[in-house]
Amino acid sequence: MALERTLSIVKPDAVAKNVVGEIYSRFEKAGLKIAAAKMKHLSRKEAEGFYAVHRERPFFNALVEFMSSGPVMIQVLEGEGAVLKNRELMGATNPKDAAPGTIRADFADSIDANAVHGSDAAETAAVEIAYFFPSTDVYAR
Ligand code: RTP
Ligand code: MG
């Protein structure tokens, strides 16, 4: 497996629930290292730009509304197979389908308020990381 980086976001619902530390702990226990991090309240425009691939989808407005409803924690995770490893830790998009012990099973309330975002491939990870962090703000771990 290759050393990878992936973009992770703790969404507004999970920040509001005060479980950022519990979620970070799961990353660390799985061997993922935090290579960059910041808290940010996304504007509508920033949320639209980030989720631009979904702009034609019926849920786009709700998604943008939710992602700009409160501060999020944005981090770059680094480790062996980081993209897939993070997706496994997150669980399925809809918490009803998420495997027990995953972040979404434990902290998400609905398919909209689903606690975390994670890049879905190495290529999208590179684009998403650059959307939020200049390369000088990402640290090799
Ligand atoms: P994310 O991008 O946030 O990590 O989530 P994901 O890969 O698991 O799911 P994706 O298909 O990329 O969808 C992005 C977010 O849009 C919302 N969604 N709603 N109502 C629906 O059918 C629906 N489908 C997706 C979810 O909040 C999902 O996280
Ligand atoms: Mg996605």
**How much of the chain is helix, strand and coil, in % rounded to 5?**
45, 20, 35
Digit-coded pLDDT (tens) for 38-48: 999 999 999 99
Amino acid letter at 77?
Answer: L
Digit-coded pLDDT (tens) for 82-134: 999 999 999 999 999 999 999 999 999 999 999 999 999 999 999 999 999 99
Name residues with Cβ closer than 5 Å to ligand 2, which is an ion.
120
How far, in Å, is the centroid of ligand 2 from the Cα of 92?
A: 10
Pick the residue whose CA is nearest to atom 9 on ligand 1: 93
Strand order in the sheet with 3-10: 33-40, 72-80, 3-10, 116-118
- Structure token pair of residue 51: 């989720």
- Structure token pair of residue 49: 């730009």
8 lines ligand 1 (CB under 6 A): no
For Cα atoms 54, 34, 120, give the angle at the middle one, nearest 5 degrees: 25
User: 5, 26, 85, 117: which one is catalytic?
Assistant: 117
The interface predicted TM-score (ipTM) is 0.95
Q: Which ligand is nearest to the CA of 60?
A: 1
- Residue to substitute in 83, 89, 93 for testing ligand 1 pocket (most ligand atoms within 8 angstroms of CB): 93
55 is in an annotated binding site: no
17 is in an annotated binding site: no
11 is in an annotated binding site: yes
Q: Model pTM greater than 0.90?
A: yes
How far, in Å, is the centroid of ligand 1 from the Cα of 118?
A: 10
